[in-house]
Structure 1
């Protein structure tokens, strides 16, 4: 209003100066320009040479020039028939200095100032600065900082410039002293307060910061309160008023919420109307709302969503299903009518991928269950998204289905992915407590060069093992998903060098294998494999009698042909660090005729992820194994034994040290017993997965509280003497499967997917320790997959 009044006064003075006498403009002269170009003035001026200047047009010209915002004073004069315009430019902003801000970063403040027209080099307008100051004050109030102050200072500098100084005193966030709910008679006040994200100050507030008032949080809490009543039949519940009071020192906040509960309503009748497009029986099977139930807005909304998704599976992507409640106040009942508007069936024009900077498009496209040109099925689009997540190549996968411009029955399907490490080129560089330093130049990639193929090649060396290996798996050897893999390896393992009390021996193994995988459903596969392997055995310092006995009977070198058949099923939502779904596999491996030894092994692995909340998940897992000899081979060869303890087994116990133990065949009577594994493996456990505090990106990080249990057993071992017969060897905890001898531990575990490979560590406390079991409270590993 002040600016309009000033403009009117100035206009009147200018018109008076021009003597309000009309004249034909022969020329226009502008005086006082410094930074603003003459072209900018002439572009804004509604008068040109040759025009007739009168009172009205001069007023319009003055207003037009003021609207540019370039000038703080304008005077129009006349020199003969020349229109003279004298201007005084507004100063430009030379610098902006912000002090005292912490809750809002300087970059965010400068960005907001820039969007408001205040930045270095721009024309300075005091009204804009005052508006920005008020807006900053409102932002701090919205954060609960009622004592915050924002002061501005304009410092004049040479050449018609100014320096802006914004001094901020953020104060402290007002803590919530009391929350009061008035008008509730059905539900206890404490139950209603528990719905609120805002809390009164308590001993956890320092960490959770939940006692700081914020307007947005209060709005969310009120909506939760309203939904709580609406989901329990109180259809007329109303929040009458909300009062937020601040103490005089502006350090504490009192919140009062006044509510009217109304009466409780039940469902009288449920109806369907509209063009259903699918059989009515199928729609009714999806209806969660039933006659006689207490009315619940959530149940009504969930029913609408289920019907919408069912129509979406048939291509009606733009279907609209609304549940319309009709209350009857006389008997406190409500009729619910679901109005179905399917719209037109939509078809997919293009499927596009974004964000796959390393992975080829064809790797993503072959996982698609929704095809281009087909109708847009919500189920198939979501199933395609899930298959991309299960690959393990991506941290996150999102999908959008925007309409194709200019059409009303076509959509594009856009998948946006975020790449993550799917292996590690330096995976052979690491450290494990049981194996020591791991050095090598191996490559382990589940998505080799973005092709989707799994490749492993290289040399790995640790204190007890040297390994050369090459492996290759093409998961799409045929277009319908038949996989082909082959591998070759050489391993030299010397358990004498392993820093745990395990029976020592050395094995040199050379082999090669071939395997096929065949999909039998969307989530299940059959796997077939054949491997030829040559093993040579050497005894060590702490070799137990079981090993000597086996070598005496069978020899110390073997060539075996192993055939395997397996079944696997997985509905996990992600290939790495999943949070829901299940996975299980069952494998039978046996030697074939022509092998030096006859034995078989049956292995089962399973895990289930059950979400508890949006951020907490319960995981159950187990691994079971059984092996035995047949034909001329008495029992499972000792070097094929199962071992328990350590990562992916029973944490809190040293690697491979659980299970039957025996006295090494040495001349040292004081030698401790050592573990030698067994032909039976039973392990399992439960974990609660939870987000790590203060970490924003949780998709590459897993934190869990776990309970592990398990052991190995030998169902056939017995009292024996060593081959030399010079003294007996005592084998213990074997000959039977005794579940009361299971080891158990509880603890905290963390796994982080890094560029070097997975980094894992656990802090575990054994709660049940078998005799002579070796504990290890802290365990960690880098560069090995778990």
Structure 2
């Protein structure tokens, strides 16, 4: 009997191969035909796994080379710590010793992380329950855990691994962690600056030396990724202000001996400020030189601006792409005159070949159905490549709101020179939304508003919403659903089912109710890529249940209402959640078709966001409403506009501005607010970073001023009767939605106005 044995503890595959070759003469066996193959020592590994890895079968000719190959193959499985081969009477016996497997993972001393987060990190490096274990794997696990802590600026973290053998050749691993404290940035220095103060340059950074809100923003925790982003911001700041040869020479990050403080030093060379002297075209421009010239953003006589250069190159590339040239090469070549500090640019273009799209692939949508994404595409398969349509398609997919990231990659089709495939990569986000609001006043006390909205039900792209209001004055239950592609042309359909009970905001002690069950249907027709027109009709049965404190204006308001609506909206904001620039407009009309209630109601809203700097934004909002009775009838009181409070003039109680009505049976002359047929609101906000929060956009504060009022049907819009307020607020993108606090002081009020200085709500703006 001859035995071939080789253990692999501590050996690399190259060392193994060399050892095997050196040892072959000592193992030499005469070639023979295998009569049988047996495997011994298996505990958990299936025999078939071993047999499948062997380079021979029963009946094959066996020799030393094949034996060496078998050993390499079995060790390559990573399942065995020792492998031996024995040959007896033409029978090969394979003796193996399995590596132990991980029975369980545990952690001690963990405070900064949830255990599941760390287990996932270890799983990424190959260590998880049920997997084979060795010392090298434990070392990698320790390094990965330390890396996780370093990513959170905890450089003093120490990890000790304890391996405990258990039954059936298994081990239990415990990682004992001493976390230590967070290493904070002590100072950030910029060396070499002359054109701009160091404080100005440091103000561009998201990293800083901390403030009283650093516990929230974590801006004083060093991160290499954040530093790289800040360095790019610094580079962009110089390159957009004429400093063509600006460069960052070096970056030093020093940590204190106790690993609790860090210092960052950035060495820069500004160079001279250059002015563009001329811009010329060179190359092939499809005979459309004038059209391309109109796309140039670089301006002769102005300071060099890297953004203008990149914008010009992108415009040229996109314009070539609109004609099907997906691989056009455009290069902005500078010619630098350092004597006069001038730079001349030559725009060289080579359109290459025209291509068409063979196939569009969608990846990353684990929940959302393919058709929900594909129906937003304006670039079609088997059509000429069109960069404008592709960019529009990407924007439409992004505006769905279902994804945190949307990207489209162009890939040449192998073996062809005129075809490309498009790959749409998306990263899904949770599309359910919980919105909660609250307010407090002496009349209403504490009231709650809640809504649950799912924008992508079962991945279909449909919307399902449930709104509940528990206010003492306004209780409502609204169920609505929207199919955004009721037709293939993109016409949406919305159903609404609701039940509402209402009392006036400032009624006290009244026990009457206004009940409004109803149903409605609306259709949205996309007239352009940004403009949508809405049509709808509904039916509502209004019942006025008489009781104490009933306003006389409500006595004859019961009956059947058949409202028909026509509306239009255009949203050009850069973000619906935290807008910093752009415009939003909405116009809506409502007509009462019932013979009992004939009226017209119009409203218009306009919002504009103006970025002053990276940190500061000015926002303006205005709303105008007008109602008119038709057919000789008065405008229905229950269709009135209301003013005051959130979404209107802050600092005044919700819905208390405007005309009032006498209370039925009152002997004291009591009057209550019932809204009005006309509405006028102005809001202005100056939005700034919250002190101590740095450039964090999730927590900001704003200073505002509001003006507005509600008027009766026969009243004119009198500016002399406008109420006005001013105040300060906090905007926070919280885990449950956008939260806004506002404290307002009326600066123009009249006798009898009801004041409510503090207000807050989740899920609203202005």
Task: Return the TM-score normalized by structure 2.
Answer: 0.73
Q: Matched residues in 2 for 1:782 and 1:219: separation? A: 35
Deviation at 1:512, TM superposition (A): 3.4
> CA shift at 1:217, angstroms?
2.0
SS of the equivalent of 1:686 reads: strand
Contact 1:706 1:749 in 2 (8 A): no
**Residue 326 (structure 1) shift:** 3.5
Corresponding position of 1:739: 720
Task: Name the counterpart of 2:264.
Answer: 255
CA-to-partner distance for each residue in 1:206-264, whole Å, 9 max, x for gaps? 22111111222222222333333333333333333222222111111122222233333
Query: Is the counterpart of residue 151 in structure 1 residue 160 in structure 2?
Result: yes
Distance in 2, Cα, partners of 1:81 & 1:679: 103
The 10-residue stretch of structure 1 (301-310 or 655-664) with the greater mean CA deviation from structure 2:
655-664
CA drift of 1:583 comes to 0.9
Equivalent residue for 1:507, pick from 540, 557, 562:
557
Report the alpha carbon displacement of residue 710 of structure 1 after superposing the two structures with TM.
Answer: 0.6
Deviations 1:266-296 (A, max 9, x none): 3233222333237322222221212232222
SS at 1:201's partner residue? coil
Unaligned runs of 5+ in 1: 518-526, 528-567, 718-734
Structure 1 position 324, deviation (Å): 2.8
RMSD of the alignment, in Å? 5.3
Match of 2:195, SS state, is coil
Following superposition, the deviation at residue 773 of structure 1 comes to 0.7
2:436 paired residue number:
none
Q: Which residue of 1 aligns with 2:171?
A: 162
CA distance in 2, matches of 1:403, 1:207: 42
TM-score by length of 1: 0.72
Q: Confirm whether residue 431 of structure 1 aligns to residue 470 of structure 2.
A: yes
The answer to whether structure 1 residue 323 and structure 2 residue 323 are counterparts is no
Q: Of the candidates 341, 347, 351, which is equivalent to residue 342 of structure 1? A: 351
1:283 aligns with 2:292: yes
Task: Map Cα deviations across residues 440-473 of structure 1 (whole Å, 9 max, x no partner).
Answer: xx64444499672233345433453122434333
Aligned partners of 1:238 and 1:260 also within 8 Å? yes
Counting matched residue pairs gives: 700
* Cα distance change on mapping 1:478 and 1:350 into 2, 3 Å: farther
Do the aligned partners of residues 632 and 751 (structure 1) sit closer, same or farther apart at CA in structure 2, a change above 3 Å counting? farther
Q: CA deviation at 1:349?
A: 5.7
Aligned twin of 2:122: 113
Equivalent-residue separation in structure 1 for 2:252 and 2:764 (angstroms)? 58
Partner of 1:644: 643
Partner of 1:775: 755
Q: How does 1:367-766 map to 2 (within 5 A)?
A: 374-383=383-392, 398=406, 400=408, 402-403=410-411, 405=413, 408-411=418-421, 420-421=454-455, 426-427=466-467, 429-432=468-471, 435-438=473-476, 443-447=479-483, 452-457=492-497, 459-463=499-503, 464-475=513-524, 485-493=536-544, 505-512=555-562, 568=568, 570-572=570-572, 579=579, 580-585=582-587, 604-610=604-610, 618-625=618-625, 643-659=642-658, 668=667, 670-672=668-670, 674-675=672-673, 681-687=679-685, 706-713=704-711, 737-739=718-720, 741-746=722-727, 748=729, 763-766=742-745
Distance 1:688 1:498, change over 3 A: farther
- 1:680-719 per-residue CA deviation (whole Å, 9 max, x = no partner) reads 53222124679999xxxx99999987533111346978xx
Q: 1:425 to 1:330 in 2, by over 3 A?
A: closer
- Within the alignment, does 1:305 sit opposite 2:314 as a pair? yes
* Contact 2:553–2:637 (Cα < 8 Å) also in 1: no
Which stretch shifts more, 281-290 or 42-51?
42-51
Q: Please state whether the residue corresponding to 2:709 is helix, strand or coil.
A: strand
Matches within 5 A, 1:43-122: 43-44=52-53, 51=61, 53=63, 62-75=71-84, 86-122=95-131
Whose radius of gyration is greater, 1 or 2?
1
Does the Cα contact within 8 Å between 2:279 and 2:298 map onto a contact in 1?
yes
CA spacing shift, 1:651–1:352, aligned 2, 3 Å: farther
Alignment match, 1:544: none
SS at match of 2:332: strand
